[in-house]
Amino acid sequence: MAKEDESAAESAQSKALGLEPESAKEASLGHRLSTLNASNEFLNREMSMLESERDALRLELRNIQNSYAWKIIGRYRRWLARNQHRAPIRLYEAIASWMLNRTVGPEEQDPRTRYQLWIEAHELTAERSEVIAAAAAAFSYRPLISVYISVHGDMIENFLTHAIDSVRAQLYDNWKLYVARDETNEDRVRAMLDRYAAGEPRIKEEPFAESEFVVFLEQYGELSRDSLFELVKQLNRNRLADLIYWDEDEFDAEGSRCEPFFKPDWSPDLILSMNYVGRSFAVRKSLIDVVGGIRSEYGVDQVYDLILRVAERTDAIVHIPQVLYHRRETDTGSNSAQVIEAALRRRGLRGKVETSHPERHSVRYEVRGDPMVSILIPTKDKCLLLRQCINSIAKKTDYTNYEIVVLDNDSRDPETLKYFQQISDWVRVLRCPGRFNFSAINNRGAAEARGEFLLFLNNDTEVIQPDWMRALIEQARRPEVGAVGAKLLFSDGRIQHAGIVLGIDGTTGHAFRLLPCDVPRRPPLANVIRNCSAVTAACMMMRRSLFDEVGAFDETLPLDFNDVDLCLRLRLRGYLIVYTPLALLYHHESATRGRFHLQECQELFLRRWGRYVRNGDPYYNRNLTLATEDWTIAI
C-alpha cells in the first residue's frame, strides 16, 4: 500500500509539472546534470585562474633572477658567505633600493595606486559573476544566512539603502535580512523596510529567523556581491567553522575604494588590542545563543563584544583572505576599552587596558611577585656599544630584580677587558671561547643564569622606555606564551624589527623594516601587541623552564635563523609568540654584523622549515608582498 501511495504521489507531482513519470525523472536528472556542469565549469575556471597566476609568478621570478641587479646581489651574497660577516648594511640598502626603482615605477610605489592596480586584477567581471551564481546553486551544503544590520543613532538613509542593496545583489541567494533599530530611528527604518518588503520577501522582521549563520553588516558598509558565496564556499570546505571573517577596504568621500586592510589569520593578542576582525563577519547562530546573544549596551562595539565572547567558546575561527566588505569612515564613538576590560574579567585575568587611540589599546597584565630576569648579552670587544647597552639598562629600567650576564667571546681589546673589571661587582662575565656561535654562547649563558626569565639581548641595543622589561615580563609570564619580542629601532628612528614574517625573500624578514617609527599607518600593526610567527633574539624574553623544555637554541645554526627556529619549535608545541611595541629599544644593528644569511644556515633552516615557509605565514596576508618588508600589497 505504501508503494502505491508513493507511486500516486509521484504521479501527482508529475502531473503538476506537466510531465509523465519518466519525463519527470529525466527532467530531474537533467537539472542535476546542469547543476554539476555549472559547478565543474566554475572549478575549471578557478583552476585556470590559479594556473595563470602561477605562470605569471614564475615569469616574474625568472625576470628577477635574470636581471643585472639580481646577479650583482648573487655575487655579493657569495662573497659574504666566504667572508661570513661585517657587510655594511648601507650597501645592501642601496642595492635593494636601486632594484626596486628599476623594477617598479614611481606610480606603482604609491599605496593608493598599488591598490587600484590590485582591484583591477581581482575585479568581479560579469562573466565571473555568472559562473559564481551557477556554482552557488550547486553547493551540496546551502545554509540559510541571516544578514544583520544594526542601526544606532543618526541614520543616513542613503548609506543604509546601499547596505541593503548590497545584500539584495548577492550571488548566493539563500539569505534573509534583518535590520535592528533603536527608538531614535524606529519610524524611518520601518518606512524604508516597508518599501523594500513589497518586492523582497527575504527582508524579515524576526531577527535571524531559522538561519544557521549570521552575517553582521554595519549600516555604513556594503558587502561585495560574492561575499556570501565565499562564505558558503568556505563552509562547504569546513563544516565545523564557527566564526568566519574576511578582509575589507574603505570608501572615500568620492566613493572610490581605498585603505585596504589585509588581515592576519586568528591572532588572540591582536584581537585584544583592536577589533581587527571588523564589523562584518559571520558567526554560527547556535553559538550566538550559547554566549547570550548581542549586548546592545555596547552600542557600535556590540559586535566586538560578541567576537570576544564567541572566541572564548571556540577555536574554529577561519579567515578568508579576500576583500568582501567595504566600510565607510564614520565618527560613531567607541566603547572598545570597556569591551576588553569585560573580557579580561570573564577570563579571570588581572590587568588594565591602556588606550593610545579610541580604537587601539594595550592590555597591561599584572606582574605578580618580583620574578628575577637574567639578561644574557653576547659580546666580543666593541666596548663602546656594550657600555652604552649596560648603562641604558641601569639608568632607564624601572624594574629592579634582574641580573646581567655578559657572555664574552674572546675579547682582546684592552679597553673592553678593563671595562669588565669595572663592572665585575654587579655584572657577571662568563668566558665563552672559540669560534663565534650565537646559539652555543646563549645556551651557555642560560645554563648559568639564575633568573626565572631569560632575556636574550644584543650588545648593540639601547633602552628607550623605562617600562620595557616589565612589558616583556607581563607577556612572557602567561602560560600560553612561548616567547616575547620587542620593537627595535635603528639609530635614526626607523623600524628595525616589529616581528618576523615567514616567506619574505624566500626565508624570513622583519615586519615594517626601514619604515618610520611614528608615521601613522593603516593598519597600525607595528604599534599594537600582536602575535607573530617569530621574533628576533636581539631582544627576546621567555621563561627559563620553557627554554629547557623546548631544547634551547640549535647550535647547528651558529649565526642565522636560530631565533626563528626556536620560535617555530615553540609554535609546534602550541605556544604563542608575542610582539609588544611597549618594549622599545634602539638596535644599532649596522654597527656590528651584516644582515645577509650564511648559506649553510639558510639551507639547514629551509630543509627543516621550508614547508612552513612555503605554506605562508598565518600572521601575514597572502595579498601582501614577499619581495620587501614594508607590508605593502603584492601586485
Q: Model confidence over 217-255: pLDDT tens digits?
A: 998 999 999 999 999 999 999 999 999 999 999 999 899
| 139-355 and 373-615 agree in CATH topology | yes
Question: What percent of the chain clears pLDDT 70, i.e. is strictly above it?
Answer: 80
Residues 72-85: tens digit of each pLDDT? 666 565 555 555 44
Burial 315-346 (b: 16+ CB within 10 A, else e): ebbbbbbbbbbbbbeeeeebbbbebbbbbbee
**Whole-number Å distance between alpha carbons of 89 and 93:** 6
Residues 420-443: tens digit of each pLDDT? 999 999 999 999 999 999 999 999
pLDDT confidence bin for 198, thresholds 50/70/90: confident
Which range is least confidently modeled, 14-18, 23-27, 34-38, 493-497? 14-18
Residues 6+ apart with CB under 8 A from 467: 398, 399, 582
Residues 336-381: tens digit of each pLDDT? 999 999 999 999 999 999 998 888 999 999 998 999 999 999 999 9
Residue 416: its pLDDT value, please?
Answer: 97
> Phi/psi at 545 (nearest 5 deg)?
-60, -35
HSE at residue 558, side-chain half, CA atoms within 13 A, is 9
CA angle 242, 244, 249 (to 5 degrees): 165
Residue with cell 539603502: 161
The partner residues of 453 in beta bridges, in order of sequence, read: 373, 543
**Whole-number Å distance between alpha carbons of 544 and 540:** 12
**Whole-number Å distance between alpha carbons of 306 and 291:** 8
Can you tell me the mean pLDDT for 517-544? 91
From the CB of residue 522, how many other CB atoms can be counted at a distance below 10 Å? Answer: 11
Q: Are 470 and 367 in contact (CB under 8 A)?
A: yes
Q: Are 603 and 497 in contact (CB under 8 A)?
A: no
Looking at per-residue pLDDT, the higher value among 22 and 132 belongs to 132
Residues 324-338: tens digit of each pLDDT? 999 998 766 677 999
Can you tell me the mean pLDDT for 393-414? 97
Residue with cell 648601507: 90
Distance of CA 263 to the CA centre of its chain: 5
pLDDT confidence bin for 33, thresholds 50/70/90: low
Residue 56 three-state SS: helix
**β-strand pairing of 243-251 with 281-284:** antiparallel
- CATH class of the region 373-615: alpha beta
Inform me whether the pLDDT recorded for 190 exceeds 70. Answer: yes
Looking at per-residue pLDDT, the higher value among 28 and 141 belongs to 141
Q: Chain-wide mean pLDDT for the chain? A: 86
Inform me whether the pLDDT recorded for 584 exceeds 70. Answer: yes
The partner residues of 633 in beta bridges, in order of sequence, read: 624
Inform me whether the pLDDT recorded for 622 exceeds 60. Answer: yes
From the CB of residue 604, how many other CB atoms can be counted at a distance below 10 Å? Answer: 17
Tell me which DSSP letter residue 108 carries.
Answer: H
Task: Specify the amino acid at residue 471.
Answer: A
**Where do the structural domains in the chain lie, given as residue ranges?**
139-355, 373-615
**β-strand pairing of 203-204 with 257-261:** unpaired
From the CB of residue 102, how many other CB atoms can be counted at a distance below 10 Å? Answer: 11
Residue 594: its pLDDT value, please?
Answer: 43
Can you tell me the mean pLDDT for 573-585? 97
**Torsion 404-409-415-421 (CA) sign:** positive
Inform me whether the pLDDT recorded for 19 exceeds 50. Answer: no
Task: Specify the amino acid at residue 623.
Answer: N
Look at residues 32, 35, 8 and name the one whose alpha carbon lies nearest to residue 21: 8
pLDDT confidence bin for 27, thresholds 50/70/90: low
From the CB of residue 401, how many other CB atoms can be counted at a distance below 10 Å? Answer: 14
Inform me whether the pLDDT recorded for 581 exceeds 70. Answer: yes
Q: Which overall architecture, per CATH, does domain 139-355 show?
A: Alpha-Beta Complex (3.90)
Burial 485-519 (b: 16+ CB within 10 A, else e): bbbbbbeeeebbbbbbbbbbeebbbbbbbbeebee
